């Protein structure tokens, strides 16, 4: 793309496609769900429009990729970056040594709330005498048996620090320094 500023390192966040639980609003943290057929179609559509040589996300410009270890994120990564070479083959377009699979960008650990709907969580908490004056909010109240907002922040801060280290010496167009995160909403 001729209008892309090649001198600016970028970070792309690629959220996984649809799963059975994202379709109906269930909290999906550690449960390892695959993409639905519609989710596969979503990711393939994104890849065809945005990923490839000369496109917004050009594998030649990518210096690092971080991927959540959940099936839905791994599947999304594969659909985005495999089989996109110019010859139409199925070989990955991102070298393996540039890919890091890490819990640091895994979905929030919802603990006891895994697989539940917001209404179910709020109802259960209210029945147990919690949140009588104000409704449960994940950012304020966290998840029983799971992760707090502070814990999620700490692991994401580690990732941000790593990205800064990679990109800091390339902020003036010295070399391409794009980063891709294949993950969840967090």
Closest to 144 (Cα-Cα) out of 108, 107, 112, 186: 112
Catalytic residue selected from 16, 18, 114, 184: 16
CA distance 101 to 158: 14
Domains of the chain (ranges; CATH) run: 11-109+147-183 (3.40.50.1240)
Q: Greatest CA separation found in the chain?
A: 62
pLDDT in tens, 92-135: 578 889 999 999 999 999 999 999 999 999 999 999 999 989 99
Q: Which two tokens stand for residue 70?
A: 């959940």
Do the beta carbons of residue 43 and residue 76 sit within 8 Å?
yes
Q: pLDDT per position in the chain (186 positions), as tens?
A: 444 455 688 999 999 999 999 999 999 999 999 999 999 999 999 998 999 888 999 998 999 999 999 999 999 999 999 854 444 433 457 888 999 999 999 999 999 999 999 999 999 999 999 998 999 998 889 899 999 889 989 999 999 999 999 998 888 777 888 999 999 875
pLDDT score recorded for residue 83: 54
| Contact residues for 99 (Cβ-Cβ < 8 A; gap 6+) | 65, 67, 77
Choice among 18, 38, 103, 107 that is catalytic? 107
Taking the mean position of all CA atoms in its chain, how far away is CA 102? 11
Q: Is the dihedral of CA 124, 128, 133, 139 positive or negative?
A: negative
Whole-model pTM: value is: 0.86
Q: Is 107 a catalytic residue?
A: yes
> SS3 for 165?
helix
């Amino acid at each position: 793309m001729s209008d892309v500023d090649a001198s600016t390192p970028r970070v792309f966040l690629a959220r996984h496609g649809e799963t059975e639980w994202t379709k109906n609003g269930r909290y999906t943290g550690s449960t390892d769900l695959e993409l639905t057929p519609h989710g596969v179609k979503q990711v393939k559509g994104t890849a065809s429009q945005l990923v490839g040589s000369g496109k917004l996300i050009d594998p030649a410009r990518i210096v690092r990729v971080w991927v959540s270890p959940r099936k839905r994120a791994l599947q999304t990564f594969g659909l985005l970056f495999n089989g996109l070479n110019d010859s139409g083959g199925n070989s990955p377009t991102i070298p393996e040594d540039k890919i890091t699979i890490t819990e640091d960008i895994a979905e929030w650990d919802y603990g006891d709330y895994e697989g539940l709907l917001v209404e179910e969580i709020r109802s259960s908490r209210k029945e147990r005498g919690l949140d009588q004056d104000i409704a449960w909010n994940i950012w304020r109240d966290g998840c029983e048996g799971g992760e707090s907002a502070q814990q999620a922040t700490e692991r994401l801060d580690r990732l941000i620090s790593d990205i800064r280290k990679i990109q800091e010496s390339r902020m003036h167009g010295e070399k391409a320094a794009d980063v891709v995160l294949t993950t969840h909403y967090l």
